């Protein structure tokens, strides 16, 4: 997209138009700290190719969805969450709390997380 109109905040972060504390990146995925953390560690993992939400993903997105989950493991390792544990959350749609229409995973850790989540 050549202009900023209609771009999500995540697309602007991916393009480095908005600063973010990046914790992990590869060719397809970007992970950065949430600006409104809900746990001591709260990282968002976004695909660089925009998919609006999990409900909009297709079989063609299968490899990308797998990369997102594998990236959550990479982030957890980098942030020392593997032993203590962490939660991976995907919100899809307004009732789930989706606030940005760009598929993303939340990685939360470094505190005990209640179940059910809310």
Catalytic residues: 104
Q: Which residue has the tokens 């993992």?
A: 45
Q: Which residue has the tokens 């229409």?
A: 101
Chain-centroid distance of CA 13 in Å reads 12
Phi and psi torsions of 80, nearest 5°: 60, 50
Helices (H) and strands (E) in the chain, counts: 2, 5
């Amino acid at each position: 997209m050549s202009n900023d109109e209609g771009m999500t905040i995540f697309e602007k972060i991916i393009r480095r138009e908005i600063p973010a504390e990046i914790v992990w990146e590869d060719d397809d995925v970007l992970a950065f700290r949430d600006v409104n953390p809900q746990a001591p560690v709260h990282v968002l993992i976004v695909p660089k190719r925009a998919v609006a939400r999990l409900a909009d993903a297709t079989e063609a997105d299968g490899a990308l969805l797998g990369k997102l989950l594998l990236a959550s493991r990479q982030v957890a390792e980098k942030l020392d969450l593997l032993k203590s544990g962490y939660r991976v959350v995907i919100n899809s749609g307004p009732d789930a709390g989706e606030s940005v229409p760009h598929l993303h995973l939340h990685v939360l850790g470094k505190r005990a997380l209640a179940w059910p989540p809310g």
